[in-house]
Chain A
Amino acid sequence: MSGKSRREFLKKSITAGAIATGLSSSTLKAGPLNILSPDRMGVLVDTTVCVGCRNCEWACKDAHNLHAGNLDSYEDRKILETKRRPDHTALTVVNEYPRGKYSNLPIDVKVQCMHCDHPACVSACIVGAFSKQENGSVIWDTDMCIGCRYCMAACPFQIPAFEYDKALDPLIMKCDFCFDRTKEGNLPACVNICPVEALTYGPRTELIKVARKRIKRNPDRYIDHVFGELEVGGTSWMYLASKDFKELDFPDLGKNPAPGVSESIQHGIFAYFVPPVSLYVLLGGIMWITKRRKELGTEEKI
């Protein structure tokens, strides 16, 4: 069987499967939404301003129905003694680093999804659950997510987290740039609460200008680097810092989008699938092909 005819076969059998499972053809999209709007929004995180109050952590949980607890309990600074990563219980975390030998003040760095301009997670998602929205947010559709964790492996910032502790239907979790809030014209919860406005929300192009201006006006305060302006092809969340980003545990990434982004490998084959029911159809199809291939002795790879 040639590649083309096999793909056609797959399309047909999947459509058949979808129809069989009662899905209208309008829900079957040709690929994930991946918009790079010139007006996309972003956040500039100024780590020289952040006071490490962790109010953003609380607000984020509160806005996402995660167990947030009492805001007062976030005053505990002991937790900052160990480095943390965002996970399914906290979509953003603040880590603390020494400013240098001669300062009592630490540097605090808020970590969350960077909302890449060319998101590896969107490309990696085999079912097209991930999308880059017009306002810059990289979000995912929980109903579509099959928990395969390809996004976790693809993300250059190791952001998507998996609900390992959930026995039933564990799903991917990450910062969604408060898509539900911004849709309604509200600020992201973390931006809204930050007492010192270390997080500036605005159009990405505008934020780059603001960042450059701050560096120019305070060359002693900042290093001349806006992290996220160019990294992995640009990100919606960008950072300013007083010292090398490597010392603040930022990954040293090139300017090219993460590997796999441009190729969009999976979509060619899997974009038409509607999980999880159609997955069974797919698996059935694959089994059928494999069986057929064995019979025909072909060495072609899927």
Chain B
Amino acid sequence: MKKILAILLVLIFMGEINAQQSPGKDHSELNINCKTCHTCDVPTKDEPCLVVCPREKIATIYQKPEQTPELIVIDQLKDRYNPVYFSHKIHAQMSIMSGGCENCHHYNTSGPILKCNNCHQSSRQREDISIPDLKGAYHRQCMDCHREWSHETGCNTCHSPINDLKESEKNDFKKQLKGKDHPPVTEPTKIVYETNFEGGKLVTFYYDDHINNFKLKCNQCHARESCTRCHDVNHISSDKLILVKEKKSLEEHHKKCFNCHKENDCAKCHLDKQLEPFNHKQRTGWALNKPHSYLSCVSCHGSKQPYKKLDNQCVSCHKGWKKENFKHSVTGLRLDKIHSELSCEDCHTGKDYSVKPGCNGCHENYVYPNQKPGRLVGK
């Protein structure tokens, strides 16, 4: 969890760099060549000697996949092969669950996107052999994944020999990719795993709880998915995707859960029967109504695992709430004039805000919410 937070923080930090076009206070410590942005040797605050570049148009690798180019035509070998039409956006969308943009743009400053040939030389016969040449670099990007699910390594898999394609077919390619997104990934509600664990064979995983209630982001768990998780290893058909049973060690299987859950509490997940979905009220006695239902767990419980029980006092979180400055309308109920002059405990007996307020102190036979001390308002 800490790691994930750290990564997120870095990403947010990088995102901010992008948004403000300012590299941040300690950017000299980042692993960026100074000359990427400065022309002089000792840039100062007053004389930053910045290179002339279209700053507002700088594309960085910290874009959303949707903002990235749809199609990239790779045609360096156009005298031998037809161009390769690379569906960049779709690949970027897929990459979210497996390492992100850095998967391919593995070295980049926070500035403009570097081209592969900025570092990778086009000749295989070269002095610096510490990194692959351009041909090797390109092919590693594509073939590493593609061969995993299709087992194809032949040149013609991607490079169709010149003249094989008519001009009209080439345009078809472009048209096909236009506006095309990676199909939305269908999300399950719950998954019941049958395990060999003696103490309890069933593990019920509520996917929607984790997303909607616990507010996890996809890539918090699916950070390094292999393409074969979705793409057909046996290559039965290109458009029929099969969710392949994950080949993972026991340790790897548990790793994702252990990011948040305690490691030694097996019986919490391994049960003999299916688990009910998470219910805050049942579990804690405190119903998560609006506006608290919008919050993620950590916003109240903090990131420290396991979560501690909080008391029901509003002021434990809302420090500084007093009768004088509390706007009752945030609860969805605006008090009428008479009631707003009462003290809190007159209705919320014992200052326990988790239970229904009582009217008995003043009214006989009045029951909340049949009778209300004001009117309901939108929150």
Contacts and interface: CB of A to CB of B under 8 A. Distances in A.
Contact of A195 (B139, B151, B252): B139
Contact of B148 (A55, A104, A196): A104
B136 A194 contact: yes
Contacts of A101: 247, 249
Contact of B144 (A51, A53, A71, A197): A51
Contact of A191 (B124, B151, B248): B124
B247 to A, nearest CB: 4
Contact of A187 (B125, B140, B154, B226): B125
A105 B140 contact: no
Contacts of A53: 143, 153-154
B129 A202 contact: yes
A77 interface: yes
Nearest to B228: A104
Interface string A98-132: 00011111000000000000000000000000000
Nearest to A76: B154
Contacts of A202: 129
Interface residues of A, number: 31
Interface in A33-90: 49, 51-55, 71-72, 74-75, 77
A-side interface mostly: loop
A187 B133 CA distance: 14
A237 B291 CA distance: 67
B124 A197 contact: yes
A75 B153 contact: yes
A77 B148 CA distance: 13
B144 A195 contact: no
B121 to A, nearest CB: 11
Contacts of B143: 51, 53, 195-196
B130 interface: yes
Contacts of B247: 101-104
B184 to A, nearest CB: 25
Given A187-B125, A197-B132, A51 B153 contact: yes
Interface of B: 124-125, 129-130, 132-133, 135-137, 139-140, 143-144, 147-149, 151-156, 226, 228, 233, 247-249, 252
5 contacts: A49-B140, A53-B154, A77-B151, A104-B226, A206-B129
Interface of A: 49, 51-55, 71-72, 74-75, 77, 101-105, 187, 191-192, 194-198, 200-202, 206-207, 210, 213
